[in-house]
Amino acid sequence: MATQGNNLSEYDKSRVPDAKEFRFGIVVAEWNEDITEGLFQGAFNALKENGVVNENIVRWNVPGSFELIYGCKKMQESYDMLDAIIAIGSVIQGETKHFDFVCEGVTQGIKDLNVQNDIPVIFCVLTDNNKQQSIDRSGGIHGNKGSEAGIAAIKMAQLRKDARF
Ligand SMILES: Nc1c(NC[C@H](O)[C@H](O)[C@H](O)CO)[nH]c(=O)[nH]c1=O
Ligand SMILES: CC(=O)[C@@H](O)COP(=O)(O)O
């Protein structure tokens, strides 16, 4: 399986651009907030480890993962000086098919934001079968997907900058 055998927090620092000039937005869903706070810390720490200063990180909260779509869209519109945005959520299977619709909806919505707008939005939404899988991927045995997302945000910010010249 993609994550098993790998650690989401490990990365080759020599392959990560210096991010001290970049500005990032982070939109965090409050559903399963024990998980999403862990993901936020992973992303925040990864940005800081690579030179980002606190003043260049703006955070908004939204109720659930489905609202990440609107929150990220408004952040793209409100903060056009941002270099990348990270969308953080934790969706855990319940008794019904609601999980399927939330996961598909947020996936398609964030994809659309990347297609329609110029600020890249990084998909840091866990879609897990149970709580343990979420714990394992937000600072547990498989590392922290938030860290992975922070590094992806830096790399996409650099790609966007390079693409302008
Ligand atoms: N069950 C989970 C949800 N459900 C709520 C939706 O995201 C949304 O807020 C609601 O349908 C109102 O529009 N959200 C999560 O982030 N994680 C879940 O496990
Ligand atoms: C992803 C969800 O919305 C889900 O956790 C809600 O739980 P349930 O399907 O039991 O209503």
Is the four-CA dihedral 123, 128, 59, 142 of positive or negative sign? negative
Q: Is the CB of 31 under 6 A from ligand 1?
A: yes
- Give the confidence band of 4 by pLDDT, cuts at 50, 70, 90: confident
**How far, in Å, from the CA of 9 to the mean position of ligand 2?**
28
107 appears as a binding residue in the annotation:
no
Q: Is 142 a catalytic residue?
A: no
**Are 131 and 28 a contacting pair, CB within 8 Å?**
no
Q: What is the pLDDT of residues 58-100, one digit of tens each?
A: 999 999 999 999 999 999 999 989 999 999 999 999 999 999 9
Residues 6+ apart with CB under 8 A from 74: none
| Closest atom of ligand 2 relative to the 102 alpha carbon | 1
Q: Is the CB of 89 under 6 A from ligand 1?
A: yes
Please compute Rg for the chain using Cα positions: 15
What is the arithmetic mean of pLDDT over 107-112? 98
95 appears as a binding residue in the annotation:
yes
Task: Tell me the pTM.
Answer: 0.96
Report the complex ipTM.
0.97
Catalytic residue, chosen from 20, 98, 111, 161, is 98
| Closest atom of ligand 2 relative to the 103 alpha carbon | 1
pLDDT of residue 1: 52
Residue 128 CB: number of other CB atoms within 10 A?
20
Domains and CATH numbers, the chain: 20-162 (3.40.50.960)
